[in-house]
Chains A and B, each alone.
Chain A
Amino acid sequence: MELSNSTKNSVEPASVHVGKNAYLAVDHQWDSELFATAGAQVDIWNHNRSEPINSFQWGSDSVISVRFNPGEPNLLATSANDRSIMLYDLRMVSPVRKMIMMTKTNSIAWNAMEPINFTAANEDGNCYSYDARKLDEAKCVHRDHVSAVMDIDYSPTGREFVTGSYDRTVRLFYYNSGHSREIYHTKRMQRVFCVKFSGDGSYVISGSDDTNLRLWKAKASEQLGVVLPRERKKHEYHAAIKKRYMHLPEVKRIERHRHLPKPIYKAAALMRAMSDARKRKEERRKAHSAPGSVTTQPLRRQRIIKEVE
Chain B
Amino acid sequence: MPETKRKHRDETNHRRGHSKPNKNARKKKKTGPRLPSSLQKELDRLNPTTSIEIDQDIDSADGDAAERELLPQDFYEYEEQHAEEESKKNKRYDPGSVDQLQYDLPIERSDESEDEIIQSDDDNVDDDDDGMERTGDAADGDSSEEGDGRHTRMLQGITGMPSEAFEGKKKRKMKDDVIPELYPESEYNPSRDVVDGDGQISIDDLLNPLQDNPGFGKLRKRIQQIENNSKAIHAPLRTADQAKVERKAAYEISKKEVTKWQQIIQRNREAPTLLFDENIDLGFSTVGAIASEFEPRTEFERKMAALVSDDKVMEAYKKDAYDAWQVSVEEEKDRQSRIAKMRSLLFRHEMKAKRIKKIKSKTYHRLLKKDRLKTEYSNIQMDPEAAKEFVMKQERLRAEERMTLRHKNQNLWAKRILTRGLNSQDEGTRAAIADQLQRHAELTRKMHSMKDSSSSSDDSSDGDDEDAGSDQEMGSKVVGKAIEKTMKVIQDDHETPKSGLLSLPFMRRGLEKSKKAAVEEANLALQEYKDSKKKLENSVGSEGPEATSISGRRVFGASKTQISDAGDKVKSDYNYGSSDSEDDLRASKNGNIETQGSNVLQKDVNTDAVLIQEDTDNHQESVFKDFNEIVKNPGPKTTYEVSLFVSDTWKKARNRDEKGTNVKKSAMPSGPVRQDIKDTEKEVEEDSDTDSEGQMVDGILTSGSKLSYELPSQEELIRQAFAGDDVEDEFEKDKMEILNVENPEPEKPVLLPGWGQWTHVQKKKGLPSWMLKEHENARKKREEAIKKRKDAQLKNVIISEKLDKKAEKLHTKALPFPFTSKEAFEQSMRVPIGPESNPATAIGPLNRPEVVKRPGVIIKPIQFEEVNPHEKAEQRRGDKHRSKKNKGSGGRSMKKTTA
Contacts and interface: CB of A to CB of B under 8 A. Distances in A.
Partners in one complex: yes
Interface of A: 30, 70-72, 75, 87, 89, 91-92, 94-97, 112-117, 132-133, 156-159, 199-202, 233, 236-237, 239-241, 244, 246-250, 309
A95 B245 CA distance: 11
Contacts of A94: 243, 246-247, 250
Among B251, B262, B809, B854, the one with the most A-chain Cβ atoms within 10 Å of its Cβ is B251
Contacts of A246: 816
A250 B862 contact: no
B855 interface: yes
B810 A250 contact: yes
Contacts of B265: 113-114, 116-117
Nearest to A93: B250
21 contacts: A87-B254, A89-B253, A92-B253, A94-B246, A112-B861, A114-B265, A114-B268, A115-B861, A116-B259, A132-B255, A157-B276, A157-B859, A159-B851, A199-B859, A200-B856, A200-B858, A202-B853, A202-B855, A237-B847, A247-B817, A309-B247
B261 A72 contact: yes
Given A159-B274, A248-B810, A240 B847 contact: yes
Given A72-B257, A94-B247, A113 B862 contact: yes
Nearest to A247: B816
Interface string B237-277: 00000011011111101110111011001001000001010
A71 B858 contact: no
B850 A159 contact: yes
A27 B843 CA distance: 43
A157 B853 contact: yes
Contacts of B897: 113
B587 interface: no
Contacts of A133: 255, 258-259
A79 B246 CA distance: 21
A246 B259 CA distance: 35
B861 A71 contact: yes
Interface string B820-847: 0000000001000111000000011011
Given A96-B254, A97-B247, A233-B835, 6 more contacts: A71-B862, A116-B259, A200-B855, A201-B276, A233-B847, A309-B244
Contacts of B261: 71-72, 114-116
Given A112-B861, A133-B259, A75 B853 contact: no
Contacts of A158: 268, 862
B849 interface: yes
Contacts of B326: none
Nearest to B243: A94
B340 interface: no
B653 interface: no
Given A116-B259, A247-B816, A96 B847 contact: no
Contacts of B249: 92
Contacts of B856: 200, 202
Interface of B: 243-244, 246-251, 253-255, 257-259, 261-262, 265, 268, 274, 276, 809-812, 816-817, 829, 833-835, 843-844, 846-851, 853-864, 897
Contact of A237 (B258, B262, B817, B834): B834
A94 B817 CA distance: 43
Among A72, A91, A246, the one with the most B-chain Cβ atoms within 10 Å of its Cβ is A72
Contacts of B253: 89, 91-92
Nearest to A157: B851
A24 B861 CA distance: 25
A80 B254 CA distance: 21
A134 to B, nearest CB: 9
A152 B816 CA distance: 30
Contacts of B864: 71
Nearest to B812: A247
Contact of B859 (A87, A116, A200, A241): A200
Contacts of A75: 254, 258
A250 B276 CA distance: 33
A87 B862 CA distance: 20
Contacts of A116: 258-259, 261-262, 265
Contacts of A92: 246, 249-250, 253-254
B642 to A, nearest CB: 53
A89 B250 contact: yes
B809 A248 contact: yes
A242 to B, nearest CB: 11
Contacts of B844: 233
B101 to A, nearest CB: 28
Among A116, A199, A246, the one with the most B-chain Cβ atoms within 10 Å of its Cβ is A116
Contacts of A115: 258, 261, 861-862
Nearest to B255: A133
Contacts of B860: 30, 156
A237 B840 CA distance: 12
A244 B77 CA distance: 81
B254 A91 contact: yes
A240 B276 CA distance: 19
A112 B844 CA distance: 27
B847 A309 contact: no
Contact of A200 (B247, B248, B853, B861): B853
Given A200-B853, A201-B853, A247-B812, A156 B858 contact: yes
A241 B829 CA distance: 11
Given A96-B251, A132-B258, A309-B244, A112 B862 contact: yes
A199 B843 CA distance: 29
Contacts of A249: 809, 812
A309 B274 CA distance: 37
Nearest to A159: B851
Contacts of B859: 112, 156-157, 199-201
A220 to B, nearest CB: 15
A113 B247 contact: no
A213 B560 CA distance: 87
A51 to B, nearest CB: 19
Nearest to A73: B861
Contact of B247 (A95, A201, A244): A95
Contacts of A201: 276, 851, 853, 859
A140 B681 CA distance: 91
A247 B860 CA distance: 34
Contacts of A157: 274, 276, 851, 853, 859
A91 B254 CA distance: 9
Nearest to A90: B254
B254 A240 contact: no
Given A92-B253, A156-B861, A201-B859, A250 B809 contact: yes
A72 B835 CA distance: 42
B258 A96 contact: no
Given A112-B861, A159-B274, A236 B847 contact: yes
Given A236-B849, A237-B847, A114 B862 contact: yes
B816 to A, nearest CB: 4
A69 to B, nearest CB: 9
A201 B244 CA distance: 40
Nearest to B850: A159
In the A-B complex, list the 8 residue pairs whose CB atoms are closest, starting with the nearest. Answer: A70-B861, A247-B816, A92-B250, A156-B859, A199-B858, A240-B847, A112-B861, A89-B254
A118 to B, nearest CB: 11
A69 B253 CA distance: 16
Nearest to B851: A157
Nearest to B811: A248
A156 B846 CA distance: 25
Contacts of B847: 233, 236-237, 239-240
A219 to B, nearest CB: 10
Contacts of B251: 87, 89, 96-97, 309
A72 B864 CA distance: 9
Given A112-B861, A157-B274, A248 B258 contact: no
A75 B259 CA distance: 13
A56 B847 CA distance: 50
Contacts of A156: 276, 858-861
